[in-house]
């Protein structure tokens, strides 16, 4: 793990969104071509602008329904990536993959949600438990000198250790870093979340946080609730000819939800512009790499939670310093599992061996682009399924481990969407067509194969067609290889999964209390729990302070006065008790 402790020169990377309508040049670039075109600072800042529940409903990805001036400018000055896929059709497992660089179905993060619905599952709350060598991506960046902030959603299927972030709050911002320090900053935009389709319709007031620029005097009480529809800005005309996918009925109610979807996107574009304005005002635009992406596919029924492309495909734009490769498209297959190694690669950090993806940019990018993306679907709130998928550039193979169970699950949260209510009403009346009824079939085919180029909505199963037998066999073999590699056990009862994660115990494991040793004023901290991260604070006057936790990596000199506050935490375990030692009592 020594390679994680090397400090590097400064550089800025952003993951986010930017600006004006454009049609990117079709330029599928190989890894070699990408590398030759990028002239990056030694150490970029990293900014992620992340939206929720958003498929490619954007002009630069072929949907010209609305204008998105900020994202379109970002695309005009950057590169679009049309073939990015999440490993799950829902947020928390996908965020677990991003945070750890490991597949959620291999570390116990695959059931949405692991910390609730115990009254339905009969299983106590638990967290994903990655292997002991795993660290949150942000912690590794912090160890290497980055100022890491998250504004503000976490939701990783586990609680982050105190070492994960310099700031994680509604006020977290790169502007709070030390002068000249490189940063990794995430801004999460929730307006496009599926709950933005609920009635009564209105934007979430807490999106106002993105305009505060780190101002912690803003009244948090003003963020509760929603605006009314009358207060909500109308960015999109209600009478547009909204594109409705064939698996949804074309009714007035569905069209209203489509208007809300696009209006939410337009508002998010506006909010993104506010953050980009701050970046430009700070003079950071051209030493920062900006990534914009969504946490998975779209918010509508038969999109979110499913592992069709409509649930997995996330739009992504990257703007590089100096507008390198501006207005181009890179069509390689990418997975969220590739984010961690790519960010390390861009910042000059050698990716740790435990990561399950590969870098697609930077000094450590893979020699060959990836051939397949993989995905899984398991429990969603109170309802469980077991599905795995593998996709190459054109074809997707799906294995249903519960073929006698229908695809549709009556998830209570989703049924607040008016379109979902409309589907159920029309189903009960017998008024859905054959494509709209597919989701409501009483049974599933055990194996499915789709030509995603000619059948982008994945409505025609080719698994029984002899003409596609070779492709079916190849993708089936790739799925078997992947399952074995990551230790996935599809359809494993969740109680047995928990037994494995907790190693046969009937309670969540607890991180051992850290041990502090002082020798001639040099403080050494250890923790007997394998894989535990250790955080500490140096506190003046002996009272706990509010400054962020530091990541312990090596012995340090004890302050002459004050105290040391220490906590250890392995991901998936309960954190240790905090230890507070007065420095004047150290030997």
C-alpha to C-alpha distance for 543 and 537, rounded to whole angstroms: 11
Chain centroid to CA 566: how far?
A: 29
Say which of 91, 148, 452, 527 is annotated catalytic.
Answer: 91
Q: Which residue has the tokens 């040793």?
A: 517
Dihedral angle of Cα 158, 162, 166, 168, to the nearest 10 degrees: 40
Q: Which residue has the tokens 């801004």?
A: 187
C-alpha to C-alpha distance for 340 and 381, rounded to whole angstroms: 27
What backbone phi and psi angles, to 5 degrees, belong to 469? -60, -40
Q: Which residue has the tokens 């060959």?
A: 368
* Helices of type H across 460-568: 469-486, 494-501
CB atoms within 10 A of CB 426: 17
Whether 91 is a known active-site residue: answer yes
Element (H, E) at 66: none
* DSSP structure class, residue 468: G
Three-class secondary structure of residue 396 per DSSP: strand
Element (H, E) at 508: none
Residue in 78, 71, 318, 13 with CA at minimum distance from that of residue 192? 71
CB atoms within 10 A of CB 487: 12
Strand extents, DSSP E, 122-205: 147-151, 167-168, 183-189
Q: Which residue has the tokens 């070779």?
A: 470
Got the DSSP string for 361-386?
SSTT--SS----EEEEEEEETTEEEE
Under 8 Å between Cβ of 40 and 9: no
C-alpha to C-alpha distance for 339 and 241, rounded to whole angstroms: 36
Residue 493: partners with Cβ closer than 8 Å, 6 or more residues away: none
Three-class secondary structure of residue 510 per DSSP: strand
* DSSP structure class, residue 226: B
The catalytic residues are 91
């Amino acid at each position: 793990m020594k390679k994680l402790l090397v400090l590097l020169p400064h550089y800025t990377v952003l993951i986010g969104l930017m600006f004006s309508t454009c049609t990117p040049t079709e330029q599928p670039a190989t890894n070699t071509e990408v590398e030759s075109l990028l002239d990056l600072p030694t150490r970029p800042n990293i900014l992620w602008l992340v939206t929720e529940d958003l498929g490619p409903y954007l002009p630069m990805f072929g949907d010209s329904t609305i204008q998105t001036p900020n994202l379109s400018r970002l695309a005009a000055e950057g590169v679009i990536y049309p073939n990015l896929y999440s490993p799950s059709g829902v947020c928390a497992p996908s965020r677990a993959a991003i945070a750890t660089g490991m597949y959620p179905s291999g570390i116990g993060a695959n059931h949405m949600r692991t910390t609730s619905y115990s009254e339905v599952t009969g299983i106590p709350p638990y967290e994903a438990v990655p292997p002991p060598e795993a660290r949150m991506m942000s912690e590794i960046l912090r160890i290497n000198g980055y100022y890491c902030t998250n504004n503000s959603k976490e939701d990783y299927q586990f609680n982050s250790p105190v070492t994960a972030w310099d700031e994680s709050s509604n006020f977290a911002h790169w502007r709070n870093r030390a002068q000249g320090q490189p940063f990794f900053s995430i801004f999460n935009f929730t307006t496009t979340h599926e709950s933005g389709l609920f009635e009564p319709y209105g934007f979430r007031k807490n999106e106002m946080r993105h305009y505060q620029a780190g101002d912690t005097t803003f009244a948090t009480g003003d963020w509760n609730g929603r605006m009314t529809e009358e207060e909500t800005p109308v960015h999109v005309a209600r009478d547009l000819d909204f594109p409705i996918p064939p698996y949804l009925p074309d009714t007035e109610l569905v069209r209203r939800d489509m208007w809300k979807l696009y209006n939410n996107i337009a508002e998010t574009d506006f909010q993104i512009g506010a953050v980009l304005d701050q970046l430009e005002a700070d003079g950071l635009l051209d030493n920062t790499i900006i990534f914009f992406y969504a946490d998975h596919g779209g918010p509508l029924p038969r999109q979110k939670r499913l592992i069709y492309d409509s649930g997995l495909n996330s739009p992504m734009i990257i703007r590089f310093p100096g507008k390198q490769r501006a207005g181009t498209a890179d069509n390689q297959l990418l997975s969220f599992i590739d984010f961690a190694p790519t960010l390390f690669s861009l910042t000059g950090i050698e990716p740790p061996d435990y990561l399950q993806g590969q870098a697609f940019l930077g000094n450590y990018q893979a020699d060959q682009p990836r051939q397949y993306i993989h995905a899984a679907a398991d429990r969603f709130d109170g309802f469980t399924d077991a599905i795995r998928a593998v996709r190459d550039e054109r074809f997707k193979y799906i294995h249903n481990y519960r073929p006698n169970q229908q695809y549709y699950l009556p998830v209570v949260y989703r049924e607040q969407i008016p379109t979902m209510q409309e589907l159920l009403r029309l189903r009960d009346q017998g008024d859905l067509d054959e494509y709209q009824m597919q989701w409501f079939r009483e049974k599933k085919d055990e194996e499915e194969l789709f030509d995603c180029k000619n059948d982008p909505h994945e409505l025609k199963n080719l698994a029984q067609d002899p003409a596609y037998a070779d492709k079916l066999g190849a993708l089936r073999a790739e799925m078997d290889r992947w399952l074995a590699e990551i230790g996935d056990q599809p359809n494993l009862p969740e109680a047995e999964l928990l037994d494995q994660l907790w190693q046969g115990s009937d309670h969540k494991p607890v991180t051992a209390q850290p041990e502090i040793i002082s020798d001639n004023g040099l403080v050494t901290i250890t923790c007997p729990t394998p894989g535990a991260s250790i955080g500490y604070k140096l506190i003046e006057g002996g009272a706990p302070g509010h400054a962020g936790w530091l990541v312990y990596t090596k012995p340090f000199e004890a302050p002459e006065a004050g105290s040391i506050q220490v906590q250890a935490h392995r991901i998936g375990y309960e954190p240790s008790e905090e230890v507070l030692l007065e420095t004047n009592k150290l030997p």
